[in-house]
Structure 1
Amino acid sequence: MIRAMLLAGAVLLPAPLAAQDHSGHGSKSEPAPEMDHCAMGHLPPEQCGKQEESEPTPAMDDGMAGMDHGSHGAMTDKSAPGAAPESAIPARALEGPRHAADAIWGEDAMAPARRELARGNGGMTTGMVLVERLEARIPTDGGESGYLWDAQAWYGGDLNRFVLKTEGEGEFGGAVEDAEIQALYSRAIGPFFDLQAGVRFDPEPDSRTHLVLGVAGLAPYMFHVDGALFLSDRGDLTARIEAEYDQKITQRLILQPRIEAEFAAQDIPERDIGAGVTKVEPGLRLRYEIAREFAPYIGVEYEAKLGETADLARAGGEDPDGFKVLLGVRAWF
């Protein structure tokens, strides 16, 4: 029985194979036509000569009938020399109207919207008052305790502002030792820095007026920098630079390293100042923001008079340097 089944299979197997058309096996097939990369937009125009339009071959027409060729013009062969970069802007992108919405809604309707957009993105005027330092200063060597204030206010926009600064210090129960007020015009000269110019008036220790030229802003690595030159009405040229950095320990607990240095181009005997670097004050302040607008702090600061200024302090019976413990508050509104 098994032998009969094998014999029947051997007889029927050649039948399907015999039905196939093998006439083309012995002949060489025609090569497929090459694709026209210029016509499909794969190459830049300068590499494609002027060619005559031709009808698509049946082979290509049948094989690509379902393909969407609309995006071929936007494709760029990056391996081809002279290919346009990805950042290239098509010329037609700049051919339209400046305000396309005017064609739909009309210029009268869109002009107020554009003014409001400009005002909300740099054109609005705002103001702020910042009390950067309001602190008691307790010397660690047992000297007289004192106080210090450092505040500023500004009003204006992102580019132009009026800035008012004041700072000073004194001893508790005594007179104010140093005080100054600055009125400045501030102009943005970059994304992070403002150029400031104006006047400074010192009511203490002696009445004196200065011209001011400085810069203020945010230096790389998030350092807040404020520096200025001062030319007094008596011809004295001095300078000051301050830098500070807010290091967040938590969202509310912030450690602030700060340094301030002062310079003088010449001796100022009436203020016991010598030429050169006159004073440097590095310090640390640790503040806790009970609210973003109100933060008490503690800290320590080293104050040192240098060079000829230190010599003048010693001659007057003063200690030219020393540490101070700080208790203060920072606030803004």
Structure 2
Amino acid sequence: MISDFWDTQIGARYRSEKVELNDHRKDTEENVDAVIGLHGMAPYFFETDAYLYAGKDNYAGFSLETERDFLITQKLIIQPYLELDAIFSDDSKYAKKTGLSSATAGFETRYEISKKIMPYIDIAYEYSKGNDETSWQIESNSEKGWLYGAGVRFRF
């Protein structure tokens, strides 16, 4: 804890990603990265998780997740959120393009029947940057589009 509302975190992250190879086969890349982060919430503001990553093959990245609950009623809640991932460098054989890797902005609307049962509807817009061309993989283009979801969240 570094202040009343902010914590630092340190640890490791395991990544497993499916990649498409030059000969249209698929492979799985698995990595473990060191991570240092900041988690917290300014009073009455956005809850934030920001992390810096470092791994093998000169991998360096950053992720940011932020969200805020707006109470329409005591049980009806709208939660806008933003998730960003950036890659500063990646020299692996399955390298991602550097820069903003992915971004998702959306909002979730949920109704808390109780603190344990919460049905929700989620609408978001997502952008995902493609992969670099290497001797192991083909270059892929960026993808973007709308995401829709609905479900029930259970807490125990």
When the two structures are superposed, what TM-score results if normalisation uses the length of structure 2?
0.79
> Partner of 1:247 in structure 2?
70
Indicate how the Cα distance of structure 1 residues 310 and 253 shifts in structure 2: closer, same or farther if over 3 A, else same: farther
CA distance in 1 between counterparts of 2:60 and 2:94 reads: 13
**Runs of 4+ deviating beyond 6 Å:** none
Give 1:300's match in structure 2, choosing from 117, 120, 123.
Answer: 123
Deviation per CA, 1:292-330, whole angstroms, max 9, x where unpaired?
122121121111125xx4887xx53x6610001111333
CA distance in 1 between counterparts of 2:66 and 2:74 reads: 22
Larger radius of gyration: 1
Aligned length: 141
* 1:200 partner letter: R
> Partner of 2:13 in structure 1?
200
Whose strand fraction is larger, Structure 1's or Structure 2's? 2
Question: Displacement of 1:200 after TM fit?
Answer: 1.2
SS at match of 1:214: strand
> Partner of 2:21 in structure 1?
none
CA distance in 1 between counterparts of 2:34 and 2:117 reads: 33
Question: Displacement of 1:233 after TM fit?
Answer: 2.8
Unaligned runs of 5+ in 1: 1-187
SS at match of 1:207: strand
Q: Retained in 1: the 8 A contact 2:63–2:84?
A: yes
Give 1:275's match in structure 2, choosing from 92, 98, 103.
Answer: 98
Give 1:217's match in structure 2, choosing from 40, 45, 48.
Answer: 40
SS at match of 2:61: strand
Whose helix fraction is larger, Structure 1's or Structure 2's? 1
* 1:197 partner letter: I
CA distance in 2 between counterparts of 1:233 and 1:311 reads: 17
CA distance in 1 between counterparts of 2:151 and 2:58 reads: 36
Aligned residue runs from structure 1 range 94-109, under 5 A: none
Which structure is richer in relative contact order (CA contacts within 8 A, separation 6 or more)?
A: 2
* 1:198 partner letter: G
CA distance in 2 between counterparts of 1:323 and 1:296 reads: 20
Unaligned runs of 5+ in 2: 19-28, 134-138
Question: Displacement of 1:190 after TM fit?
Answer: 0.8
